[in-house]
A and B are shown apart, each in its own frame.
Chain A
Amino acid sequence: MKMLINVPETVVADALRGMAAAHPELTVDVENRVIVRRDAPVAGKVALVSGGGSGHEPLHGGFVGPGMLSAACPGEVFTSPVPDQMVRAAAAVDSGAGVLFIVKNYTGDVLNFDMAAELAEDEGIQVAKVLVNDDVAVTDSLYTAGRRGTGATLFVEKIAGAAAEAGMPLERVESLARQVNENSRSFGVALSACTTPAKGSPTFDLPPGELELGIGIHGEPGRERRAMMTSGEIADFAVNAVLEDLDPRNPVLALVNGMGATPLLELYGFSAEVQRVLTARGVAVARTLVGNYVTSLDMAGASVTLCQIDEETLGLWDAPVKTPGLRWGM
């Protein structure tokens, strides 16, 4: 598999050097792997720190900036960052108002952020944590690691970020983040596997005429494989899977998210089909975001995330944001 890289070992560092050069509004510590908004710490305001394995760009580093994350910690490709990074990030952004860790529910991320929270608290930083677990493809039971964190991470980071920017206290930012997660569900499909730089070949075999339903964002295979379906059929399947677990009485935010290698032309067509299914199911859509936001390297495919909102969370969603990956209103 051809890749636009030097060597696999420096992929993350190379990308961070590029981010540093392209985004002078961010402070990028390439050696310690921490991306911080340049004006941090912002006096009197709660800070948001997230992070996770690399390979999901623009998540998380591309969401650092006013109105969203204060800092992000990129790990190796598909590997959680280490506690040292998170503690360093928390220390860099804490104004004294406390830090919220936004953690996707994967064993590695949870363990490392837990260790980091303890260490940061030892340094006198007040830390709260919110776990994102929106993926309905995984049964949340004693027999799995629980539902994965995927597309809802963007909703949590945006809405909690706006709450922090508005000057809300840590407990309120945390409870809003939790509320957004609890009201969000996702389902993803893959048309191709992805290739990690370290392995150099696809993480699983997917024959040309088939697709994988219920995939995660780490090239792990999904729950089920079927003969290739049309965009409309996939939208029916994905939206219905989400609505099995979410019964929105309020309007929703819809994220029609590309996994990395699916063109916007296809994503917009898919988004039209998603809208069709939602209308047929009587679900009102307040806002729709279409694009590659929570990706899985070069995987082809898409995910649908719905988040039931109310007046307050919609206002926070619409609030200005200025990051490399998401920008409006400023």
Chain B
Amino acid sequence: MLDADFFRRWMAATAVSVDREAERLTALDSPIGDADHGSNLRRGFTAVTATLEKEAPDTPGGVLTLAGRQLISTVGGASGPLYGTLLRRTGKALGDAAEVSGEEFASALRTGVQAVMTLGGAVPGDKTMIDALVPAVDALDDSFAAARAAAEQGALATTPLQARKGRASYLGERSIGHQDPGATSSALLIAALAEAGGE
């Protein structure tokens, strides 16, 4: 079973890896975006860490809903509403249970990913965060490690794609050959699950 502490560890591990990888995310965002993905997410997850410490929500749903709201209020750009909605809707789907099963979490995360697709209008293959998140959710029933591998594979697989959503889509064919920064940060988020679970 997964308790509020697990979800706090997930957010903390995400904050650490986003901080560590911020320069790489920003570098990926330069040729096909506007060179700020790493700094924006770093600002967001730093604020998430602070607010979770301050407000100390005691349910899994409470942790993720608060984290999502904080991202929406802090990050801006497209990634603020998109990552914020992912966590907030996943958290809402978890309700107010003190503990949730792996299956319940996988189902809630699927709800969150679907909310992101509705909000941003992206589908798999558009060269967005969805390309890492959808395979990760599909693999989540096996293990966090399997989800991590699937997300990383999904992020790598965005390289040959032509972007159809977001700022990279303005480049048309010139977006081909670059790994998508949003899919890459999504893979970090999923990898942090494995860390939080001790895998």
Which residues of A are in contact with B by a Cβ distance under 8 Å? 8, 53, 75-84, 106-108, 111-112, 115, 137-139, 142-145, 148, 196, 198-199, 203-204, 216, 218-221, 223
- Binary contact readout B63-77 vs A (1 if CB under 8 angstroms, 0 otherwise): 000000000111111
- Flag whether B107 is at the interface (Cβ < 8 A): no
Q: Report 30 cross-chain contacts, Cβ distance below 8 Å, ordered by A residue.
A: A8-B39, A53-B77, A76-B40, A76-B43, A78-B34, A79-B34, A79-B75, A79-B77, A82-B72, A82-B74, A82-B75, A106-B78, A107-B166, A107-B167, A108-B77, A115-B72, A143-B162, A144-B164, A144-B169, A145-B166, A145-B170, A198-B26, A198-B36, A204-B30, A216-B167, A218-B34, A219-B35, A220-B170, A220-B171, A221-B171
- Nearest first, the 9 A-B pairs at minimum CB distance are A108-B77, A108-B78, A111-B81, A144-B169, A107-B78, A218-B34, A79-B77, A198-B39, A199-B35
Name the prevailing secondary structure of the B interface residues: helix
List 16 additional contacts besides A107-B167, A199-B30, A223-B172; criterion CB under 8 Å.
A76-B36, A76-B77, A78-B34, A108-B76, A108-B80, A111-B80, A111-B120, A138-B170, A143-B164, A144-B172, A145-B165, A196-B36, A199-B36, A203-B35, A220-B171, A223-B174
B interface bracket (residues with beta carbon within 8 Å of A): 20 to 34
- B160 CB to closest chain A CB (Å) equals 16
Q: Check A83–B73 contact: CB distance below 8 A.
A: yes
How far, in angstroms, from A82 to B167 measured CA to CA in the complex?
18
Instruction: Give the chain A neighbours of B181 by CB distance below 8 A.
Output: none
- Flag whether B177 is at the interface (Cβ < 8 A): no
| A77 interface neighbour in B36, B80, B165, Cβ under 8 Å | B36
Q: Check B81–A115 contact: CB distance below 8 A.
A: yes
Q: Check A204–B75 contact: CB distance below 8 A.
A: no
Given that A82-B74, A148-B170 are contacting pairs, would A111 and B82 also be in contact in the complex, using a CB cutoff of 8 Å?
yes
Q: Check B40–A203 contact: CB distance below 8 A.
A: no
Within 8 A of A (CB), among B92-134: 119-120
- Flag whether B197 is at the interface (Cβ < 8 A): no
- Binary contact readout B22-39 vs A (1 if CB under 8 angstroms, 0 otherwise): 000010001111111001
Instruction: Give the chain B neighbours of A142 by CB distance below 8 A.
Output: 164
CB < 8 Å A-B pair total: 113
| B80 interface neighbour in A8, A80, A218, Cβ under 8 Å | A80
How far, in angstroms, from A223 to B173 measured CA to CA in the complex?
9
Instruction: Give the chain B neighbours of A143 by CB distance below 8 A.
Output: 162, 164, 169
Q: Check B172–A111 contact: CB distance below 8 A.
A: no
Name the prevailing secondary structure of the A interface residues: loop
| B167 interface neighbour in A75, A76, A81, A145, Cβ under 8 Å | A145
How far, in angstroms, from A246 to B26 measured CA to CA in the complex?
37
Instruction: Give the chain A neighbours of B162 by CB distance below 8 A.
Output: 143
Instruction: Give the chain A neighbours of B120 by CB distance below 8 A.
Output: 107, 111
Q: Which residue of B lies closest to A296 (CB)?
A: B34
- A104 CB to closest chain B CB (Å) equals 12
How far, in angstroms, from A221 to B39 measured CA to CA in the complex?
20
How far, in angstroms, from A76 to B26 measured CA to CA in the complex?
14
How far, in angstroms, from A139 to B162 measured CA to CA in the complex?
14
Q: Which residue of B lies closest to A145 (CB)?
A: B169
- Binary contact readout B148-180 vs A (1 if CB under 8 angstroms, 0 otherwise): 000000000000001011110111101000000
Instruction: Give the chain B neighbours of A81 by CB distance below 8 A.
Output: 76
- B38 CB to closest chain A CB (Å) equals 8
- A61 CB to closest chain B CB (Å) equals 15
- B111 CB to closest chain A CB (Å) equals 19
Q: Which residue of B lies closest to A147 (CB)?
A: B170
Q: Which residue of A lies closest to B80 (CB)?
A: A82
Q: Check B72–A79 contact: CB distance below 8 A.
A: no
Instruction: Give the chain B neighbours of A144 by CB distance below 8 A.
Output: 164, 169-170, 172
Q: Which residue of B lies closest to A51 (CB)?
A: B76
- B5 CB to closest chain A CB (Å) equals 29
How far, in angstroms, from A218 to B35 measured CA to CA in the complex?
9
Q: Check A196–B80 contact: CB distance below 8 A.
A: no
Instruction: Give the chain A neighbours of B31 by CB distance below 8 A.
Output: 204, 221
Q: Which residue of A lies closest to B26 (CB)?
A: A199
- B132 CB to closest chain A CB (Å) equals 17
Instruction: Give the chain B neighbours of A137 by CB distance below 8 A.
Output: 170
- B80 CB to closest chain A CB (Å) equals 6
How far, in angstroms, from A204 to B174 measured CA to CA in the complex?
13
How far, in angstroms, from A53 to B80 measured CA to CA in the complex?
13
- A6 CB to closest chain B CB (Å) equals 16
How far, in angstroms, from A145 to B36 measured CA to CA in the complex?
19
